[in-house]
Structures are given as structure tokens and as C-alpha cells.
Structure 1
């Protein structure tokens, strides 16, 4: 009987009873899991934001689109809308507070580029860019572009609580 209990406990420990995806506060958040959860919520209709690409942008693409020096960023993940013209984007940067202004400047540059690219083609582009959310959660700085950007931010804050 003791052997069965011991085997059960070992199996439970090995299978990872409580999945830990890290926290924004501790700086060890599993960003791919955050994006997966957000896409699930989009798919369910919880957020009115375009479905995001499965593939995150490479560091080189992030450098180009955001005009960033990636040596100032500890980690990041950026995903854009599956259909570009739908103007949806979520970027999460792990960045020290001393480099936060650098990331803010990069986000401002990205928003200006999107406005220039889509402002005259997509009727709601200017409004979406104006309503985009950015801010800090723990050790991460985020940028959320989409009609339900505030709901997405609230969701990210909730999953870290």
C-alpha cells in the first residue's frame, strides 16, 4: 500500500501538478503561453481584436519594425494580426526600468509607421492607434493594438494575479 501511495506521489510530482508559467512580476513569464491564452480568448469571442499570427516576429523583424537595439531588451515577443490590414498587434518586452523610455520611443515610432502605412486605407486606423494601450506589468512593458486593447490588458493583469 505504501508503495502505491509513493508511486502516486512521484507520478504527480513528475507530471507537474500545478503548471507554472512564471509571472510578469518575477520576470519569468512564459510569453508564448500568454499569447496562446490571448488567441484562445480571441477565438472564443472574448476580445474584439484580430486573431494573431501563430508565429512571433523574429528579433531582427522587431528591430526593424520598432527601430530597437535588442541589446537593451532582455526578452520580447511580438505578434501581429494574421491579416495585416486588420491592425492588431501585441508586443511584450522584458525591459529594465532604466530602458523603459527607450521602449516607449520605439512604440511611438511603430505607431507612427502604422499610421503612415494604413491611415488612408483603413478607416478606423487612426482611432485604433489612438486607443492602443501601453504600460508596465512587473518587469515587462506591453503595447496592445486592437479595438478591445483595454480588455486584453486587463486579461494579462488578471493572469498574473
Structure 2
């Protein structure tokens, strides 16, 4: 199995590349150039059943392997960089780790604030089940009905009494 440790400094310059190019940048370009040289435009995902069915001599097999290796190299480089930041510059690490979380939280917060709470839903359900007040009427044969909020005022079956 291959080791994830490199023998030299990954930030060394590559003699055959422009002087400002880093080894990691040249590696990515080289992988892309090798895949382009294979003259294939599509290939299955490395390790998939379709990839396993390819002949080892099929250029698509090599393209998928190169793509997987390059993806791994980039993911490993990101992991190493984030570990370094965590140890040496926690503020930058934190900003990168949470990324756009503030914007996402603000968007979700607005969406959640627009929703009714459980209490509001229950109160609305309760209000819908409460009967609407009916007009006050006196029933024949019954005593007069006091009008709420108006002391001394009564309704009788024949009309209003006072």
C-alpha cells in the first residue's frame, strides 16, 4: 500500500515547470494532460462494477484510476492543510470550517421564523373549534336574560325589558 507521506517537501519547485509553479499544481495538470492524451471523454467511476468490467488495457480504466488518484491527492492535501491550520492558525481554520454557515443559518432562520410554532398551530385549531357567539335571545317561558356588560338591561320573550 502506498504511504500518504511524501519523501520531500511538497512545496518544492519542479524543474520542467514554470518557476512559480508548485509541485502540487504541476501534479494536477499532469494528471489532466495524461487523461487528455488517452483521448477518452468518458470513463466509469474507479472501483465501480463498470470499472471492474474494463480490461486493464482499456484507456478508460487508466483514466478512472488517474482521476481517483488525483481526487485522493487533493483531498489529502486539504486534510493536511486543515490540520496545520487547526494547530497554527485556529481563526482561519474556524472561518474555513464554518464557511457559509452564517449565511445558511440566516436563510434558515428567516424560513423558520415565517413558520407557525406548535403553540400557534394549536391556538388556531382551538379557535376554529370554539363556537361563534350567537345573538342573545330570550326563550318563551323562561326568565328574562341579562345582557352581559349592561347592568339592569334584560331580554324577555316579548322584547327588551329594563
Could you say which structure has the higher strand fraction?
1
* Largest Rg, 1 or 2: 2
Q: Give yes or no for TM over 0.5.
A: no
**Bin for the TM-score computed over the shorter chain:** under 0.3
Q: TM-score, normalised by structure 2?
A: 0.24
Q: TM-score, normalised by structure 1?
A: 0.24
